[in-house]
A and B are shown apart, each in its own frame.
Chain A
Amino acid sequence: MAVGAWLPPVELTASGRAALLPGEVERLFLSSVDIEAEENTTLTPLRSGLLALTSHRLIWINDAARLARSVPLSSIIHTFPPKKSIKSMFASPRVRIQVSANVDGKVVGGSGATSLVITIVMRGSKSDTESFYGKLWEVLKSKSWEVEEAKEKENARDRRASVTGEASSRARVAVVGVAGILRKEQEMWESTDKSLQDAFQDLNALMGKAKEMVALADKMRQKLLSGSAAHTNDEEMGSKQEMQDWLLSVGIISPVTKESAGALYHQQLSRQVLSFLADFVTLPLEKAGGMIALIDVYCLFNRARGTELISPEDLLQACVLWEKYEVPVMLRKFDSGLMVIQSKDQSDVEVFARITSLAEKPDALKMGISPSDAALTLGIAPALAKEHMLNAESKGLLCRDVSPDGFRFYANLFREFEPRDIYL
């Protein structure tokens, strides 16, 4: 039996974050957590993974094995409050929950025929059982996973109601004149009022609406990505680009926050930035030759988060963490201190080739090229273009010309002049 096959598996994204369900939000992260089935020893325990408490599930992720399992919150029957005893002071803190399972002893979500008790052992440094238990309790009480179902039912009921309502009002309108119009006015006003109240009733309702929007945007983006290969019509590409830009501002469904992730904040944030890069920024990244200034990423990322903005320092720390993982991008610091995010499959050679061909155009041979010229032609930021050119200079491909007109680069012709015969 595969490890932890008694729990439903969870899909992982390329960056190692759990793929979330629609409307699912991460609430808390804990590191080095074991999950054991207390009474049934035939069920293999899950050892040392990352535990994420979301609004729908308890997700356990083992990074090394790329293995993830979850306990649907809907299957939890009972949570035992953490015990306070002398013994518990020395052992790793643990929280016990009772979940329902089917006849085979597998946890599938919803109520089942049997039940088993699961122990969550926190081996991480000073994990706080109290706060975990509190959060768990809070999430269980809010029953977010039921909201989707309830919404479906409500929609169905609304549809039925509107059909019958229309029929009855038609009957009334048929009977009276001015009074009927007035009543209709009144009805309309009331219904507008009701929907307004619905929307602004409380923040949760508003969040619910926002979530729908994000889900919609996500769906559209998927469609755009899948369709992008089929059509290459210019106009279409333009509108697609516009759409992409627009969708960027709708953004990230479950932003990692300091509150939810605690000590694991930067680690989780680094993964989120990564998947953000993969999802949203691929187009600009490719266009710019696989390199994008950190400051640009910061702007795009924060725009995508909308609220819960992060600080530049946090982003930097998150990016520095990439060195520890197998990821397709890396943080690169130029000698001047400019920092960029570069995809690993992009090499300097390609950029050099582009710059050299640029410098060898007849105009450039006569007048040279300034970093801003190069930035325009290569479609990258001027600061970045200058870095590329300085790099090319150090490789002997370009040489510089400093004059009152400014700083320009020329193709390096020194290699071709012959000191023995200067009149060649």
Chain B
Amino acid sequence: MQKLGDFRVPNFFNYPPYFTLQPIRETREKQVQLWKELILDYCRSQKVFIIGLEEEFPLFSNPAIQRSLSHESREVFLSALVAEGRAEWIDKNHRKCLVLWLRIQDWADHVINFVKENELEDVL
């Protein structure tokens, strides 16, 4: 099993077409879905919040098979996350992306639960 730091990458990370934006709709939808899951998983486990489109990002290239994502495909995958409410563009030019490990709603639930569990209600 290949690793990125201490992150375990799935098998398809070594599948070269995974790094090429597929033009056929059905295939592409599946590919985008796989990327979304992988990005979220990686950010959650590595505690990464922000992905810069023009910066090096370990997940976006696989030196073992000499493939990396193009700028266009990075934007497509991150936009898909944004559309689902799992990420937000920080700037207008779509250069930086804030990845939300959880949806805003889920964060709110988390906070409430945390407060309740620690009996911090009504305490300021």
Contact = CB atoms under 8 A, between A and B. Distances in A.
B37 A394 contact: no
B106 to A, nearest CB: 18
Contacts of A94: none
Interface stretch (B18-26, B48-56, B95-103): B18-26
A410 interface: yes
Contacts of B27: 393, 396, 399, 412, 414-415
Given A414-B27, A414-B31, A419 B16 contact: no
A301 B96 CA distance: 61
Interface stretch (B7-15, B81-89, B112-120): B7-15
A394 B24 contact: yes
A42 interface: no
Contact of A399 (B17, B33, B34, B36): B17
Most chain A beta-carbon neighbours within 10 Å: one of B8, B12, B24, B33? B24
A423 interface: yes
B34 A419 contact: yes
A368 B15 CA distance: 10
B74 interface: no
Contacts of A413: 12, 15, 17
Contacts of A368: 16-17
Contacts of B47: none
Interface in A376-424: 393-394, 396, 399-404, 408, 410, 412-415, 417, 419, 422-424
B33 A400 contact: no
B24 A399 contact: yes
B105 interface: no
B22 A400 contact: yes
Contacts of A396: 24, 26-27
Contacts, number: 67
Contacts of B34: 414, 417, 419, 422
Interface residues of B, number: 24
Contacts of A400: 17, 20, 22-23
Given A414-B30, A414-B31, A393 B24 contact: yes
A415 B23 CA distance: 15
A130 to B, nearest CB: 61
A415 B28 CA distance: 10
B38 A414 contact: no
Task: Name A's interface SS.
Answer: loop
B66 interface: yes
Contacts of A419: 30, 33-34, 36-37
Contacts of B17: 368, 399-401, 410, 412-414
B109 interface: no
Contacts of B10: 417, 422-424
Contact of A410 (B11, B16, B33): B16
Given A410-B16, A412-B27, A413-B12, A422 B37 contact: yes
A413 to B, nearest CB: 6
Contacts of B24: 393-394, 396, 399
A368 to B, nearest CB: 7
A122 B66 CA distance: 74
A403 B67 contact: yes
Contacts of A410: 15-17
A396 B23 CA distance: 11
Contact of B30 (A393, A394, A415): A415
Contacts of B8: 423
B15 A403 contact: no
Interface in A342-390: 368
A1 to B, nearest CB: 64
Contacts of B41: 422
A415 B37 CA distance: 16
Interface string A179-202: 000000000000000000000000
Contacts of B33: 419
Centre residue among B16, B19, B38 by max chain A CB count within 10 A? B16
A403 B23 contact: no
B27 to A, nearest CB: 5
Given A403-B16, A415-B30, A419-B34, 8 more contacts: A403-B66, A417-B10, A417-B12, A417-B34, A419-B36, A419-B37, A422-B12, A423-B8
Interface of B: 8, 10-12, 15-17, 19-20, 22-24, 26-27, 30-31, 33-34, 36-38, 41, 66-67
26 contacts: A393-B27, A394-B24, A399-B22, A399-B24, A399-B27, A400-B17, A400-B20, A401-B17, A401-B19, A402-B20, A403-B16, A403-B20, A403-B67, A408-B16, A410-B16, A410-B17, A413-B15, A414-B22, A414-B30, A414-B31, A414-B34, A417-B12, A417-B30, A419-B34, A422-B34, A422-B37
Interface of A: 368, 393-394, 396, 399-404, 408, 410, 412-415, 417, 419, 422-424
